[in-house]
Structure 1
Amino acid sequence: MPPLRKPLYALFLGALAAPASAAQTAAWADLDARIAKALPGVIELRHQIHQHPELGNREVETAQRIATRLRALGLEVQTGIAHTGVVGILRGGKPGPVVAIRAELDALPLTEQTGLPYASTVRVLDKGGDLRTRGKEVGVMHACGHDAHMAMALGVAEVLAARRDQLPGTLKLIFQPAEEGPPLGETGGARQMIEEGVLSNPVPAVIFGIHVTAGTAGTFTLSRNRTTAAADTFQARITGRQTHAAFPWTGIDPVPVAAQVILAWQTIPSRQSNLSVLPAPVISVGRIQAGDRHNIIPAEVRLEGSIRTVSDEQREDVLQRMRRTAQHIAEASGASAVVDYLPGNYRAGYNDTALVDSLLPVLEQVSTTPVKIDSGTYGADDFAEYARQIPGVFLRMGATPPALADKPVWPTHSPGFQVDDPSLAVGIRALSRMTLAYMNAGAR
């Protein structure tokens, strides 16, 4: 679903393609010098945020820390959006377009195992959407790199605020809570930020976002179209009739029925999806729960898992096929099946193709290796909601510390995930140059 164009958008893209002048080259050198000067403070800030993580819709201390830093830089600050969201507005001294940058506030319910001196030791009662940990005391960790995203966004604010009188436009920094999903029974995330007006007053012309990931530090990967997958969490209940394990014919055993359902679901991507049109969906069962004793056939099997799809149409098709498959297999054995989908799911995300192509030369100047172009990831991110409203560019940046290059690397959402501090400068440089390139193009 390509985002809607803004007025004069095509003209901006044409101006972006113009070759850099000597003045522009000098301006980039000045920007790099300011980034180098700001980097130690940015790293220190990331360590502070990392050491004090908070779960979705509970990012009170994190939001206060962000708002305090933005005010110190002289930005207009709005707080309390979608619970704990923060917006910083930097109005330049020259007229020009509004550019938004999104960063996320929340951490994950994971116990950190990095051994870093600033590692998180926070533990809380989890009230979130993780079915395995909900209602239990859990560790909390920035295992998805949101601490790095916040630090880089604040780094952009610092280096651009230092020359705000020369800034040809307005920078809008969006610090969003609950990207990983709000607690069960609550609303939150990008959709609520948008509902509460984060894309108005002022209205951004474009929005940018970076997500750090495991990979060579300072390298970029992005897509010209689809960026992230839709993600749906499902629960299934396969119900039979409980009986003695020695006499299974006197009951209805839901365990083999559940096994058949799980295997049949895998034929949806391999045999029922037109792979010449779209990449295959991914159906993963992450949890199976049944029974209390080895010699009693249980009355019920519960399945929980995740579905990843690459378009709205594919998503609806897969959800219907999963439900129908489970019901028919269960009925064939005299059992029953119910498949439910939990709220707070993610829609597939898309980059604006023309904007990507126009900004690619800017990124090539920043990346430590040639920018890799791919067809998107099966990971999910609600940045997709912003990019469905206005043209957006969402890119992934490798951030594995070089010291870990020859060792097994922990990916995001794992207790050993680490971010290379010096690579934050690369992310700040990319976001700053993209912002300035778009503003300068719009101001011509």
Structure 2
Amino acid sequence: MLTIEELKNKSSQYLNDKKSIAIQLSKDILAEPETGYKEFKTNKKIYDVLKSLDLEIVNNLAITGLMTTIHGAKPGPHIAVIGELDGLPVPGHPFSDKDTNAAHACGHHIQIGNMLATLFALNSEEILNNLSGSISFIAVPSEEYVEIEWRNEQRSKGEFEFLGGKQELVKLGIFDDIDISMMTHARGNFSGFGYGGTGNGLVAKFIEFHGKSSHAGGDPHLGINALNAANLSISNIHANRETFYDDHHIRVHPIITLGGSVVNQVPEIVTLETFVRGASLEAIKNANLKVDNCLRAGAMAVGAEVEITTLPGYFPLFHDSNLQEIYKKNLQNTENKSSELDHGGGSTDMGDLAHLMPVIHPYVGGATDASAHTAGFIVEDYELAVVEAGKMMAFTIIDLLYDGASTGKEIISKHTPRLSKSEYLKTMREFSNVEIANYNIG
């Protein structure tokens, strides 16, 4: 039986032999970005690589997801290594799709690469014979919570229930026998690795104001201006910002997606989209109630009607502290820089998994000094973002599954899930709501 350090050295050698495949796959995915639940080309690229390794593949999970599983010599915990398939619309990004504006401006292409790198590090008889348990590599669709209107239409047609891919996979039972989940996310303006920290959750809202059209110059008095209702609602939201507690980290950021039809007509239909983000489920619920009041008040002020559709978004992110310590020790044994992170205002559906099982969601640098989701966010250091990130995941898994998986079993036994699967799904569905309030007095 090899020592744990010998195993890690061997796994690093196996990865180095095939790292060019993982890097090239990342670059191939970058070249043809797709948005959530539409990642068919991306799916095919990953499928072809996994097939070339003679691995058994489970495909078409939540439309475009896929997974493969490798097994240690003995039974033990089941660990998931996750990569995300989708990009998001970012006009002007140098690698954006000319037709859809989709781009990997959040680095999901390197997630797939470092997930594959972890597979290369572990997928040999020499390594697996010393491990107890299973490792699944899951490429999940639709992490970016965008194109809300289109996804809600698909949801209404029964294509899926939840707008986030991991959420849908939880519902479908893909994570039922997973004990621990982990993934590594890209980050701009950052060197080395970041671990720990917390993140906001969110609900999404699609709002439609209905007024009454009339000639904007000749008969404005005969109309009901839906744009005025929307603008008042946004002002109402701004007026509430001082009521949000600092440690709740509330973020509300609406956009007007339709502001009217023509300039010489009183706007009859105006639509908004917004997220309501917060650091806890309770904070999100409270802020969401305030936002609904703001929307109703805007409609009431001008005598309009408002339809408020609220959709379940993502749960707040946190990490299992014991699992994080194992990952942290592996970082400290390398030459890579590492630092502990604070709270972040963004959101991810890894937060959903964190409520069900032990997770870690570290970040890796290697991108330009630009904010994610912008045209300037470009991964430059693939050796760090793909190879080193995959190696750190592999080393952590070896720690968990070595020696009869004693460490992995201890992590699981010390962890208390915040929600069961049934409680999670119930909470998600309770967030879904459609309300129509009509204040038309004409």
State the TM-score bracket (shorter-chain normalisation): 0.7 to 0.9
Deviation of the 1:379 alpha carbon: 1.6
1:68-103 Cα offsets, whole Å, 9 max, x none, are 322433433211222222111011124432211111
Partner residue of 1:167?
A: 131
Report how many residues are paired: 389
- Judge conservation of contact 2:200–2:280 (CA < 8 Å) in 1: no
Q: How does 1:352-363 map to 2 (within 5 A)?
A: 352-363=320-331
Return the letter of the residue paired with 2:52.
A
Match of 1:350 among 310, 318, 324: 318
Match of 1:264 among 224, 236, 244: 236
Return the letter of the residue paired with 2:50.
L
Match of 2:351 among 355, 374, 384: 384
Q: How does 1:258-337 map to 2 (within 5 A)?
A: 258-271=230-243, 273-275=244-246, 278-287=247-256, 289-292=258-261, 294=263, 296-331=265-300, 333-337=301-305
Task: Mark the CA change 1:39 to 1:320 in structure 2 (over 3 Å): closer, same or farther.
Answer: same
Alignment partners' CA distance in 1, 2:359 and 2:339: 18
Partner residue of 1:17?
A: none
Greater shift in the superposed pair: 251-260 or 416-425: 251-260
Deviation of the 1:25 alpha carbon: 3.5
Q: Which has the higher contact order (CA 8 A, sep 6+)?
A: 1
Which protein has the bigger helix share? 2
Q: How does 1:177-196 map to 2 (within 5 A)?
A: 177-181=141-145, 183=151, 184-185=153-154, 186-187=159-160, 189-196=165-172
- Judge conservation of contact 2:88–2:103 (CA < 8 Å) in 1: yes
Partner residue of 2:120?
A: 158
- Judge conservation of contact 1:143–1:414 (CA < 8 Å) in 2: yes
Return the letter of the residue paired with 2:291.
M
Task: Mark the CA change 1:254 to 1:233 in structure 2 (over 3 Å): closer, same or farther.
Answer: closer
Q: How does 1:36-435 map to 2 (within 5 A)?
A: 36-111=16-91, 113-114=93-94, 119=95, 122-123=97-98, 137-162=99-124, 163-181=127-145, 183=151, 184-185=153-154, 186-187=159-160, 189-200=165-176, 203-223=177-197, 226-237=198-209, 239=211, 242=214, 244-245=216-217, 252-271=224-243, 273-275=244-246, 278-287=247-256, 289-292=258-261, 294=263, 296-331=265-300, 333-341=301-309, 343=311, 345-366=313-334, 368-375=336-343, 377-400=344-367, 404=368, 409-419=369-379, 420-423=381-384, 424-435=386-397
Deviation of the 1:285 alpha carbon: 1.8
Percent sequence identity is 21
Residue segments in structure 1 that go unaligned for 5+ positions in a row: 1-21, 124-136
Q: SS of 2:121's equivalent? A: helix
Residue segments in structure 2 that go unaligned for 5+ positions in a row: 407-442
- Judge conservation of contact 1:102–1:207 (CA < 8 Å) in 2: yes
Alignment partners' CA distance in 2, 1:238 and 1:365: 60
Task: Mark the CA change 1:431 to 1:107 in structure 2 (over 3 Å): closer, same or farther.
Answer: same
Q: SS of 1:435's equivalent? A: helix
Alignment partners' CA distance in 1, 2:264 and 2:41: 51
Alignment partners' CA distance in 2, 1:39 and 1:81: 26
- Judge conservation of contact 1:73–1:157 (CA < 8 Å) in 2: no
1:17-64 Cα offsets, whole Å, 9 max, x none, are xxxxx9433433333333333322221121122223333323333223
1:365-416 Cα offsets, whole Å, 9 max, x none, are 34722322312x222222223222221111222221xxx5xxxx44322334
Task: Mark the CA change 1:415 to 1:334 in structure 2 (over 3 Å): closer, same or farther.
Answer: closer
- Judge conservation of contact 2:195–2:324 (CA < 8 Å) in 1: no
Partner residue of 1:6?
A: none
Task: Mark the CA change 1:259 to 1:227 in structure 2 (over 3 Å): closer, same or farther.
Answer: closer
Q: SS of 1:347's equivalent? A: coil
Alignment partners' CA distance in 1, 2:35 and 2:295: 34
- Judge conservation of contact 2:187–2:372 (CA < 8 Å) in 1: yes
Alignment partners' CA distance in 1, 2:253 and 2:403: 45
Query: What is the RMSD computed on CA atoms of the aligned residues?
Result: 2.9
1:107-136 Cα offsets, whole Å, 9 max, x none, are 32345633xxxx46x45xxxxxxxxxxxxx
Return the letter of the residue paired with 1:308.
R
Greater shift in the superposed pair: 147-156 or 337-346: 337-346
Task: Mark the CA change 1:290 to 1:205 in structure 2 (over 3 Å): closer, same or farther.
Answer: closer
Deviation of the 1:150 alpha carbon: 0.7
- Judge conservation of contact 2:229–2:302 (CA < 8 Å) in 1: no
Deviation of the 1:296 alpha carbon: 4.9
Deviation of the 1:342 alpha carbon: 5.1
Partner residue of 2:417?
A: none
- Judge conservation of contact 1:88–1:173 (CA < 8 Å) in 2: yes
Alignment partners' CA distance in 1, 2:8 and 2:304: 64
